[in-house]
Chain A
Amino acid sequence: MLAAFDWHILWDRIFRPDSAFASALFATIYIAVISQVLGVILGLLAALMRMSRLRVLQLLSGLYVWVFRGTPVIVQIFFVYLGVNLLFGVTLIPNSLNLGAFTLGGAAFAGILALGFNEGAYMREIIRAGIDSVDKGQLEAARSLGMRHGLAMRRIVLPQAARVIVPPLGNEFNNMLKTTSLLFFIGVMELWGNAEIGYSETFKPVEYFAAVALWYLLLTTIWTVIQSWIERRLAVSERDDSEVTLGERLRSAFSPAYRGRA
């Protein structure tokens, strides 16, 4: 069976990537990063709206989460890419976006928006749980020192909430790295798209798909190590004690509690 396996292709896909592959890898990374950042910003906004005293803002936040968590992300991707301009009658999703040295394709732009908005709905709950985890006395102490709500949030509550937010946020980003593959369906050339095209040209599914799986595995593994390092840093600043060894870091990196999501 393994006789049919062309090791040569796998080897090349991993160790001698061509330029098309390199740009696909780059696309996966920047799309995941920007989408996640967008998701965190939207999630924070939605969380603050949810906790606002204004009923309208609470309702808007609820509506947002209801829609984006209640529909498949692939539908959202297609809807943003193909539907938004028609729906609003203006060009919100351009054919391409010129950012100086870098041109972002319209599909990638739409994909980032869709993934970011989808992610924001999940991040809202994570951020809200983080804020809720901070003792109410903290806000009272801040207010009694003359801080206004915004300042108290920024200086006192959110930094403490971060400790609770970061672990699930890291897991969200792990998911995001993989979910970017859906953008190939609207024509974004990212890792999965690159593999799919390679396969369709050669009809070697095992080699191409094994190679791309290994690349995703590499990305998520690197991220897991970075994530556990960040978590250790956050914990250390409060515990005020010695360095954590690399061994401990790696061991904990491979044993986080993953939260699966389809």
Chain B
Amino acid sequence: MTELIVHAVDVEKRFGRLEVLKGVSLDVAKRETICIIGPSGSGKTTFIRCVNHLEKIDGGRIEVNGQLIGYRERNGKLVEDGERSIAKQRTQIGMVFQRFNLFPHKTALENVVEAPVHVLGVPKQQAADEAQELLRRVGLLGKRDTYPGKLSGGQQQRVAIARALAMKPALMLFDEPTSALDPEVIGEVLEVMEELAHEGMTMIVVTHEMGFARVAADRVVMMDDGRIIEEGTPEQLFDAPEHARTKQFLSKIL
């Protein structure tokens, strides 16, 4: 049996009265790339935010690398974990945001070095060397001393990917990483992500980029109204969707 990195069971999430996730179960094996697609409001972003506990869950459970995320079990009940252990769990889960969220007061290199040095305690020189290697991998070594404000959206997102990778995570989460980008720079970001997928990084990608899903995803998951309604290989899902809702969604965006 392959090693599971993510094991999510019946995850529920409510915002007030609004049920956003109505029991989502998803397993992700090591080295697997999963793309989550679906209409806006279907809960895809909320789901991956639950995976690193940026959102608390109201039901079910999520395990990453065999560890319960955000909660600990006490007498068969789930109790929210302390800040310290939640922070520690997050160190092994990288996240890339739609709006990059680079630290504007720090250069590209400083952005990448920040967490390894101040969270993991990696010596500065070592962290800087590793950060430069990561920047080289995303094709931005030449911009190491540039502040985010002077970088294009595509460049910022590539730095953000390097920043997340610097923590050497077991899992990478991408929350619509290209939705805020100009069309002409989407390609450069997807290229980096594709390469990551091929190198065997375990990834969950919320995306509308069907071309990317086709070439990089091992499985595509279709969400609608807080549930996973269909999943399969990209070929199955894109070429022969079973669910009417999937067909309808795909016909709108393809």
Contacts and interface: CB of A to CB of B under 8 A. Distances in A.
A145 B114 contact: yes
A159 B84 CA distance: 23
B203 interface: no
B249 interface: no
Interface string B102-139: 11110000000011001110000000000000000000
Contact of B101 (A141, A151, A239): A141
A240 B151 CA distance: 12
A143 B97 CA distance: 12
Provide the main secondary structure of the chain A interface: helix
A147 B105 contact: no
B95 A144 contact: yes
A149 B83 contact: yes
B219 interface: no
Given A140-B101, A146-B90, A151-B119, 6 more contacts: A141-B101, A141-B102, A141-B160, A146-B115, A238-B104, A238-B147
Q: Which 6 A-B pairs have the closest CB atoms?
A: A146-B91, A141-B101, A145-B115, A137-B101, A144-B95, A146-B119
A240 B164 CA distance: 24
A144 B93 contact: yes
Interface residues of A, number: 22
Contacts of B147: 238-240
Q: How big is chain B's contact interface, by range?
A: 20 to 34
B101 A240 contact: no
A160 interface: yes
Contacts of B164: 144-145
A143 B103 CA distance: 12
B243 interface: no
Contact of A160 (B54, B104, B119): B104
Interface string A180-202: 00000000000000000000000
A144 B54 contact: yes
A252 interface: no
Contacts of A238: 104-105, 147, 149
Interface of B: 52, 54, 83-84, 87-88, 90-91, 93-95, 97, 99, 101-105, 114-115, 118-120, 146-147, 149-150, 160, 163-164, 167
A145 B91 CA distance: 6
Contacts of A143: 54, 87, 90
Contact of B87 (A135, A140, A148): A148
A156 B118 CA distance: 11
Q: Which of A141, A146, A149 has the most CB of B within 10 A?
A: A146
18 contacts: A138-B101, A140-B97, A143-B87, A144-B93, A144-B94, A144-B95, A144-B164, A145-B91, A145-B164, A146-B87, A146-B90, A146-B120, A148-B84, A155-B114, A156-B114, A160-B105, A238-B147, A239-B147
Contacts of A142: 103
B92 to A, nearest CB: 8
Given A239-B149, A240-B150, A147 B119 contact: yes
A148 to B, nearest CB: 5
Contacts of B167: 145-146
A145 B166 CA distance: 9
A239 B148 CA distance: 9
Nearest to B117: A155
A239 B146 CA distance: 10
A141 B103 contact: yes
Contacts of A144: 52, 54, 90, 93-95, 97, 164
A237 B105 contact: yes
Contact of A159 (B52, B105, B160): B105
B47 to A, nearest CB: 15
Interface in A113-169: 135, 137-138, 140-149, 151, 155-156, 159-160
Contacts of B101: 135, 137-138, 140-141
